[in-house]
Structure 1
Amino acid sequence: MVTRFRLVSRSSRYATVKLSKSASLCSCRLFSTSSDATHPEPESAPPSNPTTGDGERHEELRNLRVLLQQNRIETARGALTSLVRSGSAPFTSPKELFSAFSLSSPSLKNDFSYLLFSVLIQSNMIPEATDLFFAVRNEGITPSSDSLTLFFDHLGKMKQFRVTINVFLNLLESNYRPSKFMYGKSVYAAVKSSDLGKGLELFNRMKHDRISPTVFIYNVLIDGLCKNGRVNDAEKLFDEMLQRRLVPTLITYNTLIDGYCKSGNLDKTFKVRERMRGDGVDPNLVTFNTLLKGMFNARMVEDAESVLKEMKDRGFVPDAFTLSILFDGYSSNEKAEAALGVYEEAVDSGVKMNAYTCSILLNALCKEGKIEKAEEILGMEMGKGLVMNEVIYNTMVDGCCRKGDLIGARMKIEEMEKQGMKPNHLAYNCLVKRFCELGEMENAEQEVSKMKLKGVSPSVETYNILIGGYGRKGEFDKCFDILKEMETNGTMPNVVSYGNLINCLCKGSKLLEAEIVKRDMEDRGVSPNVRIYNMLIDGCCSKGKIEDAFRFSEEMLTKGIDLNLVTYNTLINGLSMNGKLAEAEDLFLEISRKGFVPDIYTYNSLISGYEHAGNVQRCIALYEMMKGSGIKPNLKTYHLLIGLCTKESVELTEKIFGEMSLEPDLIVYNGVLHCYAMHGEMDKALKMQNHMMEKGIDLDKTSYNSLIMGQLKRGKLSEAKSLFEEMKARGLDPEADTYNIMVKGHCEKKDYMGAYDWYREMQEKGLRVDACIGGELVTGLREEWKSKEAHTVSSEMNGDKLDDVPVEEALSATKKL
């Protein structure tokens, strides 16, 4: 787009012919200035310089000055364009040209600057235009809206975000009133340069100056807030848009959907989707892809499949990105067969797989150990023309390593070499990582040596894997040796290198050493990030050092590192586990004030704390609050709730169990079984047992213990014994807890000799009876005048010093019971 000069009055144009009468000169006004509109008599040409270069400079300046004086704007524009584009121009830069012209013709300085700036923008010489902008601003000249609009547009296209912000702030300092377009480009630049705070500051300045923000600006800020995890603040901006009677676009809705999906708030996601329908905004493929990814990440596979069906019903054909989401989504939810179904459907529809999409499917299969199926699909796709690349080879190498087929992995690497590809560190890293996972550090080191012999230098990731491997084995001296080797080889450790070591030290309860490593990395110029601090905070919380955990959180803030949701969740979990539930609740409220949305981990941490404290009412309240916020409880939530409600009542346990939207696992079933057995509801327990068997869920020792306890409570001693024998027949060897249940159950039914028989069998297996149960048995035997058996149990218990509790003390405790 060519910026046109705007002429002043016609009389002024004619007056420029009579320059001796001080008529108005150049009628173009690309800039506004506070200087007088008229110009003095034209200056005489500067004396020529005998030097050829200077002579050429003076000639160019004289020619430009004459053209401007004669108001021959377009001719001057052509001459100036040729001059700035010429590689052999007598001026080193447009900025120098401006300075030289200003010295030779100060009265024409403003007009020349207007023209020069316009030519630079039209010639797409944006860096030179930027230099000129700041030069003319120092002279008190402010570009016009037309020139600035074009300038901001070019800066945005070139992704010169910092320059955009500096130019805009410079204008604001001069009390210039920018247009909505300029504000939009500047807010966009701030958000894109990761300075959301500056973007919001400009947004507020815009409203203060009574300039109405556009939909574009709202979209940019909503996107920035969502990407920073501040979805609540994004929602407030959306509401503000509606109050200003601005119409949200498809981009607005897609951005909010993406933000809610990533924050795990699927209830709000569905509400935004419904509002789209109500406003008549049709979704596009981006909408569906975002919803699919969000559903899969939340493990809502059925909802994801519903979205996929709607997408197809609307006539959208899954693209490569959709297929990648489906392959990865099904894989992450352990539904590789469903991923294969999508592949087969795509093949039947004639969709051609590209290398990237194929690598996603292969990776999904390899993650679940289906390397043979991956090989089969790869062969089929190669038959259709797919060309193997390094990514696919690396995926297959990784798949072999995951399955433990290290020989197959090496063969893949050799195959790469035969195809003329040079395996890089990624291929070797798969082998190194697998050996580290197996704890075979010597073999891992040998693979690194092979890398070097093949001319492949270990990458920082290679060294990081080794640090993690040695760290998990507690060989921290080796970790420090690797850090030294990295520096010697010129491979500087990064934040991940130190993070791996700090994480292992924290897991190993070596918190002091972890903090020393943090200080060392800072001394070496590597700044700890939020993940490093979260590791340290988690380490402190796990050891009950809550004050140290908060010390690290305060240090984060002093260094300008914002606490993220993981930080808050870790602190809440630490407080909850240490019984500081009031403080945990305070942090829970602070999460929302900081613009974050509590997630499943936040709620589970609080529920876990209250479960430990036995506060059923608060646990249920949090559970209801979680559901009301659109967050679906996961299996851990149900483990905590059912474990607690078991002690409360059968009705409450059944309510929680009946509300499960997930497939119950063995822990949940065992919790319900235990509840029924403990409360004497054996008919329900047996019905649950049959239900588990129909579902193909095998009973474990915990399941049998609950069933045995329930039968004993009913006085069904023979049924309890049958369950005990069934347990052994299934290869589940009863341990001390099962025998203790049998002994206690017989004692409660006054069958002390029966209890004694179980005790004897227990002793023969080298298992020890619980002190209180043993004390109860001794008391019962004495009451039945079985002094010999009572003496035997008492003597053996004293000899074992069971649980460090003397028998007489156990007997005393039994009597009190």
Structure 2
Amino acid sequence: MLVWWRPKCTAEWFRHWRVFTRETFSCPFSTLSAAFQSDFSSGDEKPDIVHDNKIIRKRPRILSSESVVQTLRCLKRKPAVAFAYFKDTESIGFHHDFSTYSEITHILSHSRQGKMLVSLFCQIASTTGSGGPEILALMNHLRRTCATPHSLSFASNCLIKAYTICHDAQATIDMLSHLCRLGYVPSAWACNFVLKFVARSSGSEMVAAAFDQMKCSQMTLDADSLNIVTRSLFKAKKADEAVQLWLEMIEIGVKPHGYSSFIVGLCHCGKYDLAYEVLQGVTKERVPIEAMAYNMVMDGLCKELKLEAAEKVLELKAKQGCVPDVYGYSYLIRSYCKMGNALKAVDHCEAMESHGIKINCHIVGYLLQCLGKLGKTSEVIVHFMKFRDSGIHLDKVVYNIAMDAYCKLGNMNEAVSLLNEMMSRGLAPDRIHYTCLISGYCLKGEMQKAQQEFMKMLEANIKPDIVTCNILATGFGRSGLLMEVLDLINHMMDEGLEPTSLIYGVAIDSLCKQGNLSEAEKLFYIVEEKGIDNVEALHSAMVCGYLNSGWTNEAYMLSLRVAQQGSLVDHFSCSKLINDLCRGGNVKGASDVLSMMLKKNVVPDVVSYTHLISAYCQIGDMSTALVWFNDMVGRGRSPDATICTVLMNGYCRAGQFQVACKLFDQMIELNIKPDVVVYTVLLNGILKETLQRGLQGIAKERRCYLLSLREKHQKLLRSMEGEGIEPDVQCYTVLIDGRCKAEFLEEAQALFDEMLQKGLTPDVDTYKVLINGYCSQGEISKAEVLSQKMKDKLMTPDVYTYRALIYGYYSKGEIAKAEDLFQEMIRMNDESMSSDVLTVSVSQQKTLQS
């Protein structure tokens, strides 16, 4: 480096010259260096001075380490000049040795010239440097010769800084350890500087390792060191390690001061509960915490729906003198709205206003959406108008929520008015607003207006999306507007918008409802062959179309084909198919459909299981019915009273009354509350079992069975009363039938009267069992009274009622009345019933005559 590159240093040098001439400035720097060196040498080597102001120079001496060291010592009070001299002598070819490096290091350290010392150390430590001294030896020499500890500390700091420039993190850490072994005690600044460097250039593991190494070397670590390491650990999502380190540092006496950053770090790692505990602890000690830390803890607790804790954080924040802000309240209001607690959300809105905090449109949106989800549509409108009139700026989202509320209430005029108001405020409507209006008109069935809004949307260059088209197509389909559905499909294709399977399904469903099943099939096969996303929806639509048209077998065959292709129609279609197959007597087909659902890991609902189990019970296959019942329970579907009733009734019809009773006991154990139907099935089962046993025994045993029937019925009635269950018409009919069969006609009539007193209207079956009971006991007059009451109530007796009455008349020998009743039955009933009763009547007459 040339001297004129440093003007200030050059001026200092020239001060030491006794004579300045123009020739002096024309000399090369090597000559000046030699001359300057000789100025501080022996007297015979000084330049001669003549009176003509010219310098007569002797031949300059070659630079030596001793002379350079001597010169540097003379310049020790001028470190900048000394460093310039050191660099410039190097630039002219002089090779510095250990002594010159030691001297310049001593000068720069003592004068605290940081930039120069770092530059010098960078030169020594650089891997590209050559011929320099060994850095540790240089530092060791400085340690022995330097008198002031501050200079040593300053030099070590500069060396560490130089290493961060020239080397990586590991080399810097190693150098720090070497300095410790030499006897240096690095300052807290140096340790923190290294930790920051490692944190920037390496991962959290390296930072933690460096920190551990510093602790082992007993270096000076403080609260800043702790903050640097914990911040790195939090960044790597190692919250547990950060907490452990925090506790260890507190135990050794380091008092942290970055509580806010520590709490924020815990929140970044999702440790909201722990952050809350730390926050509670430090606030008790009145440690100041930043508002951001409070807000982050509240946000985290609100996300985990721990709202009581979040409210306590808000209280702590207020106690510490932190002014409540919009963020904390916003987190609470958003979370309470998410939970559906609109009342608490409104309370916090009022608390905000009481603290002078303005409510923004986002908070208004949270509250209105919550009210809408709770079905409080009218309250959505009330609160919207309140916030609007208060002058709060409302965005397009809030306007859309209010428009949707008006649409759900059927007030389309107000919804349109809100759209116009929004536009007058400079807010341009988008696809969502128009879709809202279209949906509202579709719900009201005003498809012409819905179509007009769709056209306005197109005129405004707003492209509808799949949701808009699905809503409009569904509205068209619900209104039977098949051509409009097809036109919408064509429009979507023209706009490059592929119609969804839902829209095609609407078209197929509309065709089926109009009786155009063949056209629906054609469209179905065209779209299926074309290929479409979510083809299961298309298959489901066709299956439902078949079922709605009564083509159950075709629906079943299509579902089988879909299953063979590896797909499955939707849950609703499967359930409807199972129900129709069971109703048509195709129990095996229904079982196959349910099995297909299970193979696709789709667990049918209890209703589907109930239809299938009921079908097996009707054909008397109770073993298969029980298999499906156990399968349902094993797949996590909780049985209800309905399916238990179906199974119990099946067992009773199959003569397995004891099994039905066991099932009733299992219901009670599973906390399934029985209803009146369950008790009716049991009462009827007891009746049938008792009669069956009574017919098999002698007259005396039969009477005992009939007496026990009444006792069992009474026991079940007491159980019903304990459950608070009142008998209905069917239940009373079974009780009356039981009393009649047991020949307790007075009790049967009392039960009949009790029904009337409770306001229950007896049906044909009720009259039938009581009439049959009176006829069987020869009390034909009472049976006649009941028969007349049936006619007064416009009830037509069935074949069994006529048979009982005719048989009663024949038993009493009143043949004419029997024949008159027979003629009446011919006038009021069909021929099949008449021939059946006639056959019975003739048979009974012959029996009596014989």
TM-score, with normalisation over the residues of structure 1? Answer: 0.49
Larger radius of gyration: 2
TM-score, with normalisation over the residues of structure 2? Answer: 0.47
Higher relative contact order (CA 8 A, sep 6+): 1
